[in-house]
Amino acid sequence: MQTPFGTGQTGRDGTDQAFTDPLTGLGNHRRFFDKVDRLISDRADDPAPFAVGILDLDGFKPINDLFGHKAGDDILVQVAMRLRASMDSYSTVCRIGADEYAFLYPMVFSEEAVAARSRMLIEILSAPYDVGERTARLSASVGCSLFYSGDETTEILVSKAETALYHAKRSGRGRVVVYSREMEEAAKRVTRIEQALRRAVSAGEVEPHFQPIVDLRTRRAVGFETLARWTDRDLGPVSPTVFIPIAEERGIIGPLSQLVLHKAAEAARTWPKDLFLSFNLSPSQLVDQNTGLHILSILDRTGFDPRRLEIEITETGLMNDPASAEKTVEDLRRVGIRVSLDDFGTGQSSLGRLREFHFDKLKIDRAFVASILDDRPSEHIIRAILAMCEGLGMDVVAEGIEEEAQAQRLIQLGCAGGQGFLFGRPADADATLAYIRDTFRSGMRATVA
């Protein structure tokens, strides 16, 4: 039986249950902070360096969903056993979160040494895990910080390690990052952007821009992809490659997307009715069961036909929580919204996902298009994708087309749709409407709203 936090009761083995994680038997969050507090106090007169780190399991949730929570708990126990076995007599490891572990290295004095030990932990955790008659694999990311000064508290050290972990997770799986002063400045900038973005979303200051998607043979626009653009009064123009990840990580992506979709649907409502609007869903929205309701509510308020909307999702989004993603996709397709798989070929989903999710369209990632003229493997991959989509009855759009020669090669291979700077850069609603009218006057459009 678990002992309530802070009662000070001890278990049969003599451990203080208030300081013990009941699942793994490791120390808990409270134990870790107590250990670091004591070490800081011991070194108050002579602040010799020591290292702390936070280890987060990469991709644990999909494993939990695939094998079940009992198997997930078994893996967490196996992780704890491996970490405990890897500690020397001076060091401590604790479980401080669902799939987060913290370690304390009193006798590690340099960034190089703690990075080397952290890489060793990742290597230890990468070996297969027994899950009944099956095995599972996972990786881990680690953020570390070093104690140098008596002015630093446990909270400061852990905060620095968390900042380093944030950078490790953003740079990919299985990475180690040791906290640096540059990270502190970067963290402050992220906070400034987050605060400004919250205000901008509340004030409705993020705008949709639209990039044409064309029929490669006729070059006429068949639809437009919506892209968020934001210029802050103090920060100036902020790249979506900067503010979209921040919105995703800080829980702003839902309100941001709803704002941009509402504005985009308002603008596209006046377009010719045979033009569709394409809109990207983030991984977190894809697994949010309220996403479909939010989208339908916006379409209802703006009077935009759901059959003219195409939702783009990524392979990464599918892998985070396949069951929830499948429900969201089904909810959208049920009302006539088409679903497109974006950036195909760069994610981690299996080809089986194409059968399970019944996509209407697939977008070939720009990385293959960029090298199609001088890289035979890229051309063969595109050939294979096109053949597969023809068999599955899916439309195809090649992204990132910047040269006429690329467009011609794609036409030769049988690709029908294209998108890229060759056909038009993202433009605001007014410029897009002018583009559409110019196209209509040129005789390339026939249907008017």
pLDDT at site 439? 80
Mean per-residue pLDDT, 262-276: 96
| Closest by Cα among 74, 76, 69 to 94 | 76
pLDDT at site 346? 64
Rounded CA separation 178/157 (Å): 11
Mean per-residue pLDDT, 197-209: 97
Q: Which CATH architecture has domain 17-179?
A: 2-Layer Sandwich (3.30)
pLDDT digits (tens, 9 = 90+) for 375-429: 899 999 999 999 999 998 999 999 999 999 999 999 999 999 999 999 999 999 9
pLDDT above 90: residue 436: yes
Angle CA 129–103–321, to nearest 5: 45
pLDDT at site 345? 67
DSSP letter for each residue of 278-318 = EEE--HHHHT-TTHHHHHHHHHHHHT--GGGEEEEEEHHHH
Question: Do 109 and 55 form a contact (C-beta atoms < 8 A)?
Answer: no
Percent of the chain with pLDDT over 90: 72
Rounded CA separation 221/242 (Å): 29
pLDDT above 90: residue 364: yes
pLDDT at site 350? 55
- With both helix axes pointing from N to C terminus, report the angle between 60-67 and 322-334 in degrees, rounded to the nearest 10: 80
pLDDT digits (tens, 9 = 90+) for 291-318: 999 999 999 999 999 999 999 998 777 7
pLDDT above 50: residue 3: no
pLDDT above 60: residue 349: no
CATH 3.20.20.450 residue window(s) in the chain? 193-441
Beta bridge partners of 278: 225, 310
Question: Do 288 and 254 form a contact (C-beta atoms < 8 A)?
Answer: yes
Rounded CA separation 93/105 (Å): 9
Which band of pLDDT confidence, cut at 50, 70 and 90, is reported for residue 156?
A: very high
Summary mean pLDDT of the chain? 90
pLDDT at site 449? 35
pLDDT above 50: residue 7: no
Cα 374 from chain centroid?
31
| Closest by Cα among 172, 164, 160 to 36 | 160
Please, what sign has the CA dihedral across residues 337, 342, 344, 348?
Answer: negative
pLDDT at site 173? 85
CATH superfamily of 193-441: EAL domain (3.20.20.450)
Please classify residue 289 by burial: count the beta carbons closer than 10 Å to its beta carbon, then call 0-12 exposed, 13-18 middle and 19+ buried.
exposed
pLDDT above 80: residue 13: no
Per mean pLDDT, which range of 85-94, 259-268, 314-323, 392-401 is the poorest?
A: 314-323
Percent of the chain with pLDDT over 70: 92
Per mean pLDDT, which range of 121-125, 255-259, 437-441, 445-449 is the poorest?
A: 445-449
CA atoms within 13 A on the CB side of 240: 15
**By three-state DSSP, how is residue 248 classified?**
helix
pLDDT at site 54? 98
pLDDT at site 394? 93
| Closest by Cα among 36, 38, 18 to 158 | 36
Mean per-residue pLDDT, 75-83: 97
pLDDT at site 188? 86
Rounded CA separation 108/48 (Å): 10
Alpha helices in 20-106 (DSSP H): 29-42, 60-67, 69-86
CATH 3.30.70.270 residue window(s) in the chain? 17-179
